[in-house]
């Protein structure tokens, strides 16, 4: 589980641990990874923490290897680490574009490659990528061209890998959250004032909570979703309907 030290990734890690999975908590921050792994162990789960940069191939290769060494195999991989930088398209720099795509897309592709190579000999595995509602609509009023494009590409990547790897027992799906209430929003001077406008565009009448996503990751990680692959599961309170 990458990006598991906070927010959605932390919620995913707890959900899978509660469902009986052994969890490798991977985060850029060693302190955050350690804290979440400790929380999982206190619940009785088997968990390890790994500090890694999910955009760096050597780090990805290392955390996949470390996970297999710790648990003996790799059945579930959740590629959740990501970044969003807000700027108008005409003002977005190539540095911003590259930073976002290196983690949100290139990093996910690298992780999927290394995870699948471990899963192929098993003839079974579940890969779950975190995309975004931004893969389906253009969220507003914030402007986030780099993020939107990267998440659209994650959906296309997921579908492509699902088609190529289905006959080897690998299922590849993605979850597209809507606007989820996390510390990133609540502590942001730029984003917090937008909450009322966002809610006005959500048929469900509220922002999502991390708990709204937990059932989905357990479903996609379990055997009951073995006949689903290449799917983009949107959990956004109906916002993409309008």
Residues 18 and 24 sit within 8 Å (Cβ to Cβ): no
Q: What is the pLDDT of residue 189?
A: 76
Q: What is the pLDDT of residue 228?
A: 98
Residue 8: name the closest of 173, 206, 208, 232 by CA. Answer: 208
Residue 175: name the closest of 223, 217, 219 by CA. Answer: 217
User: Which run of H or E residues covers position 208?
Assistant: none
149-180 tens-digit pLDDT: 999 999 999 999 999 999 999 999 999 999 99
Q: pTM for this one?
A: 0.96
Q: What is the pLDDT of residue 188?
A: 76
108-150 tens-digit pLDDT: 999 999 999 999 999 999 999 999 999 999 999 999 999 999 9
Q: How far is CA 158 from CA 17, 52, 155, 166, 208, in A?
A: 24, 22, 5, 12, 23
Q: Please give the DSSP secondary-structure letter assigned to residue 72.
A: S
Is the pLDDT reported for residue 182 higher than 90? no
Residues 85 and 149 sit within 8 Å (Cβ to Cβ): no
59-117 tens-digit pLDDT: 999 999 999 999 999 999 999 999 999 999 999 999 999 999 999 999 999 999 999 99
* Rounded CA separation 195/215 (Å): 24
Task: Give the pLDDT band of residue 190 (cuts 50, 70, 90).
Answer: confident
227 is a catalytic site residue? no
Task: Give the pLDDT band of residue 186 (cuts 50, 70, 90).
Answer: confident
Is the pLDDT reported for residue 203 higher than 90? yes
What superfamily would CATH give domain 7-241? NAD(P)-binding Rossmann-like Domain (3.40.50.720)
Which candidate in 124, 147, 219, 227 is catalytic? 147
Tracing tokens 């996970």 back to the chain, one arrives at 67
Task: Give the pLDDT band of residue 185 (cuts 50, 70, 90).
Answer: confident
Q: Quick one: average pLDDT of 215-230?
A: 98
């Amino acid at each position: 589980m990458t990006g598991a030290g906070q927010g959605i990734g932390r919620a995913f890690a707890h959900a899978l641990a509660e469902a009986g999975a052994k969890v490798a908590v991977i985060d850029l921050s060693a302190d955050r990874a350690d804290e979440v792994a400790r929380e999982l162990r206190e619940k009785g789960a088997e968990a390890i923490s790994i500090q890694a940069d999910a955009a760096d191939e050597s780090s990805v290769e290392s955390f996949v290897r470390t996970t297999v060494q710790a648990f003996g195999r790799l059945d579930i991989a959740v590629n959740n680490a990501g970044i969003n930088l807000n700027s108008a398209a005409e003002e977005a720099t190539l540095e911003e574009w590259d930073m976002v795509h290196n983690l949100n897309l290139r990093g996910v592709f690298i992780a999927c490659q290394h995870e699948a190579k471990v899963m192929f000999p098993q003839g079974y595995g579940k890969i779950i990528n975190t995309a975004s509602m931004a893969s389906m609509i253009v969220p507003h009023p914030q402007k986030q061209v780099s993020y939107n494009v990267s998440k659209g590409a994650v959906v296309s990547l997921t579908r492509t890998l699902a088609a190529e790897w289905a006959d080897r027992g690998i299922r590849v799906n993605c979850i597209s959250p809507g606007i989820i209430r996390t510390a990133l929003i609540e502590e942001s001077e730029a984003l917090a004032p937008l909450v009322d406008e966002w809610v006005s565009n959500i048929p469900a009448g509220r922002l999502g909570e991390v708990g709204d996503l937990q059932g989905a990751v357990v479903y996609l990680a379990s055997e009951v979703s073995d006949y689903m692959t290449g799917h983009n599961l949107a959990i956004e309170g109906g916002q993409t309907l309008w």
